[in-house]
Amino acid sequence: MKKFLLICLNVFLYAGVVPLVEPNQAPSKGGLISPELIEAIPHWHKYGELFLYLQTHWVKLIFLIVLIAVPSVFLIHYLIIGPKIFSHKGRNFLIFPSWQRIIHWIAAAGWILLVPTGFIVIYGAFFGGGPFVRFARYLHVIGAVLFAIVVLPMTIMWLKDMLPRLWDIKWMMILGGYLVKRKQEIPAHKFNAGQKMWYWFAMFGGIIMIITGVMMYFQNFDLSKWHLGLFQIDLLRLAVIIHLTLALILVALFFTHLYMSLFAIKGSLDSMISGCKSEEELKYLHSIFYKEIIKKGEDKELSEKCPPLKED
Amino acid sequence: MYEYARMKFYCDEDRCIDCHGCEVACSDANELPVGIHRRKVITLNEGIEGKEFSVSIACMHCTDAPCFQVCPVECFYIREDGIVLHDKDKCIGCGYCLYACPFGAPQFPRDGAFGIRGVMDKCTMCAGGPAPTFSIKERELYGQNRIAEGKVPMCAAICSTNALIVGDAAHVAAIKRARDAAKGKGAMTPYGWDQAYK
């Protein structure tokens, strides 16, 4: 009996210790940090909350959609409309001199490192984290350095040819003729409107990517002295939000660029390897440029620099 | 109704005297590299009479920890007692946790080649990490495991004015409530850091 009473007493004693409110779900108003503290930190939740929302709800989903949808669209295009095949016999014209090709391939090497490693970091949990993903993050930096070296020379070397022209509207109206099977003369100079779009996004978007990337790499940029209401941490948050948003556009365009050069126009990759484009390809896909070199009589000079392919 | 303890820090701004003792004790006890401060003492509203106060800030071990939510490699885990910890072997040092954290708790030592950012380091509430308890690896990567030893985290242990208190959220709130009542501050709202952003 005595023992029983003792147990009862113990039960009552410990019952008093049990908190009446479940501590894991303590009321959220107030908080263990006093409200004064939070109010004293200006803009404390400005971009942090936005970044938290984007990262938890959208980032992985949207990048997965781009990763699947863009190649799928091109696969359907390839199966239904098919690639454009041009004769590579006959005359070839030098379009990209060697120094332009070198610059292009340095940037390309950078992007080939940047895009997959970026995806590996976003889906780091899928790859299990640790040394592999960490290594991908380091490669991302190396790719960025490669691209950063050539981004300005590349911007300058093609700037004149990339300025928007009136016929770009026509190109946009027919979507470059990629939706029809037949060959037709496409209004484009040295670069068509699609290439121009890629150029402007990749060069200026790329510069913004480098700037925001450098901010995230060093983590010590401080604009708070400029009275922009942008504190050091908010600048970092803004940088990562911009970096991810632009990455989405650039990745989609990068896939487009790969599809166009590798699959959609057969043999167009050669023009970036040897620098030469075939007469037929030029005539149809860059009709305005072709007419111009014929009119100016530059065609002989340009074709002399490119040996004609052996006829077989 | 559960009996789980929910471990929380609370720094009583009425008591903190800006002595930075907790900062020094933490860095020393956990042998942190130079430049890493898991705990920081900050003074807010400096120079404004009646409004100036100091508090000690570290990881708040949020219930809905944003770092836990945004980590791309999912290296964070929340213990049953609410302590938010992370796995340094998994961490890639991307910095997302820092961008998401409202308190600036995650920090990155520059220990790699070319000053490359290393893996993240933050307050563990002196509870070590995922490495075996009391192992050398745990000691080197995460610092002391005072919780497993049955001790109070170093910062709270040395706080000379008892401004920094740590423990089950309900108990910590009770202490704060009693202190406020003694001062005649009136009834306080219940405490409990539940959501990081609200």
End-to-end CA distance of chain B: 25
DSSP class of B130: S
Task: Show pLDDT as tens, one digit a residue, over chain A (312 residues).
Answer: 555 555 544 444 444 333 333 333 333 333 444 444 444 444 555 788 889 899 999 999 999 999 999 999 999 999 999 998 888 887 889 999 999 999 999 999 999 999 999 999 999 999 999 999 999 999 999 999 999 999 999 999 999 999 999 999 999 998 888 888 888 899 999 999 999 999 999 999 999 999 999 999 988 888 877 777 777 888 899 999 999 999 999 999 999 999 999 999 988 898 899 999 988 889 999 999 999 999 988 888 888 888 766 554
Residue matched to tokens 């490699």 = B73
Let me know: does B16 contact B176? Beta carbons within 8 Å. Answer: no
CA distance A136 to A140: 6
Let me know: does B191 contact A32? Beta carbons within 8 Å. Answer: yes
Cα dihedral value B169, B170, B173, B179, nearest 10: -130
| Six token digits for residue A306 | 């490119």
Tell me what pLDDT residue B197 has.
59
CA angle B130, B136, B139 (to 5 degrees): 65
Mapped onto helix, strand or coil, the DSSP state of residue B78 is: strand
Tell me what pLDDT residue A301 has.
84
Query: Does the CB of A128 have a partner CB in chain B at under 8 Å?
Result: yes
Query: Does the CB of A116 have a partner CB in chain B at under 8 Å?
Result: no
Let me know: does A26 contact B191? Beta carbons within 8 Å. Answer: yes
Contact B94 A124 (CB under 8 A): yes
Quick count: other Cβ atoms within 10 Å of Cβ B79?
13
What domains appear along chain B, each with residue ranges and CATH number? 7-182 (3.30.70.20)
C-alpha of A194 from chain center: 16
Contact B188 A30 (CB under 8 A): yes
Chain B residues within an 8 Å CB radius of A140? none
Chain B residues within an 8 Å CB radius of A237? 99
End-to-end CA distance of chain A: 109
Chain A residues 230-269 with a CB less than 8 Å from chain B? 233, 236-237, 240
Let me know: does B26 contact B163? Beta carbons within 8 Å. Answer: no
Q: State residue B191 phi and psi, 5-degree precision.
A: -100, 160
Residues written for chain B: 198
Contact A125 B193 (CB under 8 A): no
Report the b/e string of A248-269 with b at 16+ CB within 10 A.
eebbbbbbbbbbbbebbbebbe
Q: List Cα–Cα distances, B111 to A97, B6, B63, B71, B162, in angstroms.
A: 44, 34, 31, 21, 35
Q: CA of B193, closest CA in chain A: separation in Å? A: 4
User: Per-residue pLDDT for B24 more than 60?
Assistant: yes
Nearest to B106 by CA among B32, B37, B165, B43: B37
Residues linked to residue B76 through DSSP beta bridges, in sequence order: B86
Closest Cβ opposite residue B190 in set A26, A45, A122: A26
Let me know: does B131 contact B141? Beta carbons within 8 Å. Answer: yes
pLDDT in tens, B91-111: 999 999 999 988 889 999 887
CA distance B185 to A252: 59
Contact B4 A23 (CB under 8 A): yes
Q: State residue B145 phi and psi, 5-degree precision.
A: -115, 75
Cα dihedral value B113, B115, B118, B121, nearest 10: 140
What domains appear along chain A, each with residue ranges and CATH number? 45-304 (1.20.950.20)
